[in-house]
Structure 1
């Protein structure tokens, strides 16, 4: 009698490995990540706001300088937090290094450009359809202001990736271990948690934008958060997600400023 080999069972579309939900040990690290997120983002922003408001003439009342100051302060606090994490949780990997192998820089640029175009449509589709100048709030009155806005948008990559992917994903990958695979996308459970936090960090869009636009921002922020971790894992560095993140913001803002000049 000949044994017939059975065909391999198909892999499930969604698969969780190495993760077990325990209310206390799972939830307190997530709560800690949420607190750290606000602790690192808010003080830097408010310190920059105070400094800017008390030196308006010195800064020529150019709002991009306020954003640059907030970015600088947040980068500093993020780097300090990463240093603390290395001491308190030495097994956590913040990925703050030059890529040991392939940089994925070219792919990151292409992904960032695509993200910028998606965000442009999601954020400004009513104006785009009406051929009306988007109300982005950006100063396009001088080359310095235009360059300043593009510069701070590019700097959002290092700023937010140090905090969200380097610190928060690095910490939660240890404290909430496990992986979640959806189709071919296989990432740490921490990546999905931080992607949700990344969307919630943009909560102020619900205060200033129509509901459908604010919801769209939550959706693409979650998707971008997963993409940044995908780049980080493959390159074993924060460089590629920093590039993709910075280019996505700069591409959207650059096109918005161009449309403001053309249609305004």
Structure 2
């Protein structure tokens, strides 16, 4: 007679292959801040230098900042690939399933969640949500263009560069239930939330706190999409559609309820 013992239950949380290193985390934080800020500073200088050309449309600054941040992110990835050849920034067309359809649905859902989290007092009162940019149609169109393309910059920086680097330098995976992601995903998701710290200085506390929470969650979702599609395309789509959905509805509600 063979004695058989029941299989041990699978733990809900499991950490495997983790090796803690502080310096790569600090380096990633410095790179994040430097790229984001240098992109903004360059965009600001060009925006003010050419102010008469765009007649004060703030969306021009947004589009310039996205373009420069994306460019700086790509340059940083080129440097990373030279210094750390095993790092994978996922800058490729999806070799298999693209996950773009799922990413689009996720992005629209994200936009609706952000809308509720950011503007619930105005929504419940049916008053126009506060807009931090011009209501001029051309400026609104520029903002929508900026929102749909945000992922080109932020996914290149956060997922392509920072996750790509930290997966190698701070190895390990953390599984929570069915969610199994590299430690780098959680670290960069935290950085992604902290990158929005200025919202605490300009927005109501509830809105700034909500942004920290959903930015962290979205950061994990973007890595989930990136790993499954083996490409940055799906997270770029989800990121852009999420921002576009929220801002598009805010613009529409301002037009309807004003």
Counterpart Cα distance in 1 of 2:32 and 2:133: 26
Alpha-carbon RMSD across the aligned residues, in angstroms, is 0.9
1:191-216 deviation per Cα after TM superposition (whole angstroms, max 9, x unaligned): 00000000000001110112222111
TM-score, normalising length: structure 2: 0.98
Gaps of 5+ in 1: none
Contact 1:122 1:216 survives alignment (8 Å): yes
Aligned positions, number:
258
- Of 141, 152, 157, the residue aligned with 1:158 is 152
Please, which moves more after superposition, 188-197 or 205-214? 205-214
Q: What are the equivalent positions in structure 2 for 1:45-64 lying under 5 Å apart?
A: 45-64=40-59
Counterpart Cα distance in 1 of 2:164 and 2:11: 27
Q: What are the equivalent positions in structure 2 for 1:7-86 lying under 5 Å apart?
A: 7-21=6-20, 26-86=21-81
- The answer for the alignment partner of 1:262 in structure 2 is 256
State whether structure 2 residue 109 is matched by structure 1 residue 87.
no
- The answer for the alignment partner of 1:201 in structure 2 is 195
Counterpart Cα distance in 2 of 1:253 and 1:138: 11
Segments of 4+ moved more than 3 angstroms:
none
1:20 Cα deviation after fit:
3.2
Contact 1:138 1:257 survives alignment (8 Å): no
Please, which moves more after superposition, 101-110 or 148-157? 148-157
Counterpart Cα distance in 1 of 2:41 and 2:19: 38
- Of 224, 234, 238, the residue aligned with 2:228 is 234
Partner of 1:57: helix, strand, or coil?
Answer: helix
Contact 1:161 1:242 survives alignment (8 Å): yes
1:137 Cα deviation after fit:
2.2
Gaps of 5+ in 2: none
Q: What are the equivalent positions in structure 2 for 1:88-167 lying under 5 Å apart?
A: 88-142=83-137, 144-167=138-161
1:29-72 deviation per Cα after TM superposition (whole angstroms, max 9, x unaligned): 00000000011100110111121122211112110011000111
Counterpart Cα distance in 1 of 2:12 and 2:76: 36
Counterpart Cα distance in 2 of 1:202 and 1:17: 30
TM-score, normalising length: structure 1: 0.96
Contact 2:103 2:237 survives alignment (8 Å): yes
1:213-247 deviation per Cα after TM superposition (whole angstroms, max 9, x unaligned): 21111000000000000000000000000000000
